[in-house]
Every structure is written in C-alpha cells, then in structure tokens.
C-alpha cells in the first residue's frame, strides 16, 4: 500500500494551494496599493511643484515603500504566520508615524493656512499626530493587548483618542483662505481618518472577547483606507489645478 502525504506529516495539496492563493491575493493587494500611492504622489508633485506637492510625494513615497515591504512579507512569510503579522504591524505603525504628522501640514496648506501667521497650528498638529500614533505603536511594540492589560490598554487608547479629537477640532477650525468647495473636499479626507481608530478598536475588542484573529481583516481595511486617504488626497492635489 502506497504511503500518503499525511503519513509523513505533510499537508495535503488543496489546503496548501489555498494558502498560496490567499498569500498571493494579499501580496497583490499590497503591491497595487504601493503602485497607486507612488503614482498619485508623483502626479501631485508634478502638478503642484510646491510644498504641498512635495509633501504629498514624500508621504506617499514612504507609504508606498511600506506596502512594498508588506507585499514582500506576504510572499516570504505567508498570510497567517504570527511572526509575519508582528512584522506587518510594526511596518504599518512606523509608516503612520512617519506619514501622519506631515499630513497635518499637507492639509493646512490645502486649506490655504500659511505657516507665517499660524505657527502654533503648524507645530502643534504634527506633534499631536505623532503622539497619537506613538501611543498605539508603543502598546503594540510592548505586546500589550486588551485581554492581558485592559486597564493600561484602555487608559492609553483613551488618551490617544482624546488627542485625536483635539487634533480634528484644530484642523476643522483652522481659518481657510480657499473656496468652500475646496475646504469641504479637503476636510472629507480629514474626517476619513476617523475610520482608522474605529477599525482598530473594533478589531481589538473582537480579540478580547474571542480567539478569532482579526489581523487579516484589519490589514485589508487599513490598506483600503490608505489608498483613499493618502492616494486620494494626492490625486485631488494633482487634479485640482
């Protein structure tokens, strides 16, 4: 009687094939996101070769590089490895830490707010953005989860959420010098940022109450949000002229 792959402890063909297909799907999603971010960033820089276009290129360039790294991570580590998931979380958090603060300046410039007469906004908003992302990054780098430290996690995320709201209030109350339509379009991308903490809090809550790992779902939602918020904002800069 011929031995089967299971007799040697090997994985049967169909599950392994399914795993490879899922890995390729997620890697392709990250590759497409990287391409879109880079294309829109370059387009914004060429369409508006000023500080605004330059910031869009810098932000999308860093984000695009992060997605290249995550696509590589998927291809070499797979879709559901715990180690790969930790690396992807670290890459995404560092990406946000590098891109979210300059996006505050990008939005202020799009609203027509000038650095000369608004030093406080241009200094305070990036600092708040860095602290908000830094708190979450610190928690995850220390492997703090809701299930093993609910009070610490809750207190830290409450502080981050409060600072995030303050940041949004300051941005929306900044005195614009652009047309109302331009202000509304710009603030649409600002309000879109609210979806990030919602996805994060819901996913962490699911992990707290169940054994279900939401990392793959989070990854897809965060990727789509980056494509719209960063890539969309850069595309708007490129097309508004």
Report the mean per-residue pLDDT for the chain.
86
pLDDT for 79 equals 62
Residue 153's pLDDT band, with cuts at 50, 70 and 90, is confident
Distance CA 45, CA 39 (A): 10
Distance of CA 61 to the CA centre of its chain: 13
Q: How confident is the model at residue 225 (pLDDT cuts 50, 70, 90)?
A: very high
pLDDT in tens, 1-50: 444 444 434 443 344 666 778 788 888 999 999 999 999 999 999 987 88
Q: Can you give the pTM of this predicted structure?
A: 0.85
Burial (CB count within 10 angstroms: exposed 0-12, middle 13-18, buried 19+), residue 38: buried
Domains (range + CATH), the chain: 12-239 (1.20.1070.10)
237 vs 144: which has the higher pLDDT: 237
Helix (H, G, I), strand (E, B) or coil at 83: helix
pLDDT at 88: 85
Q: What is the pLDDT of residue 75?
A: 83
C-alpha distances (whole Å) from 153 to each of 54, 216, 217, 237 are 36, 21, 21, 37
């Amino acid at each position: 009687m011929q031995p089967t792959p299971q007799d040697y402890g090997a994985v049967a063909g169909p599950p392994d094939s399914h795993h490879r297909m899922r890995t390729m799907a997620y890697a392709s999603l990250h590759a497409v996101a990287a391409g879109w971010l880079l294309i829109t960033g370059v387009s914004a820089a060429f369409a508006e070769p000023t500080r605004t276009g330059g910031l869009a290129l810098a932000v999308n360039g860093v984000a695009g590089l992060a997605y290249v790294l995550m696509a590589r991570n998927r291809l070499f580590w797979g879709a559901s490895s715990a180690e790969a998931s930790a690396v992807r979380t670290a890459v995404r958090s560092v990406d946000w830490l590098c891109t979210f603060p300059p996006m505050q300046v990008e939005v202020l410039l799009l609203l027509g707010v000038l650095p000369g007469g608004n030093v406080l906004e241009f200094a305070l908003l990036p600092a708040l953005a860095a602290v908000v992302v830094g708190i979450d990054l610190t928690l995850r780098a220390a492997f703090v989860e809701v299930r093993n430290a609910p009070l610490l996690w809750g207190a830290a995320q409450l502080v981050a959420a409060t600072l995030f709201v303050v940041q949004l209030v300051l941005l929306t109350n900044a005195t614009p010098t652009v047309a109302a339509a331009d202000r509304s379009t710009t603030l649409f991308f600002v309000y879109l940022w609210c979806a990030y903490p919602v996805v994060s809090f819901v996913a962490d809550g699911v992990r707290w109450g169940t054994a279900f790992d939401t990392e793959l779902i989070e990854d897809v939602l965060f990727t789509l949000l980056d494509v719209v918020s960063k890539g969309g904002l850069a595309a708007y800069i490129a097309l508004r002229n």
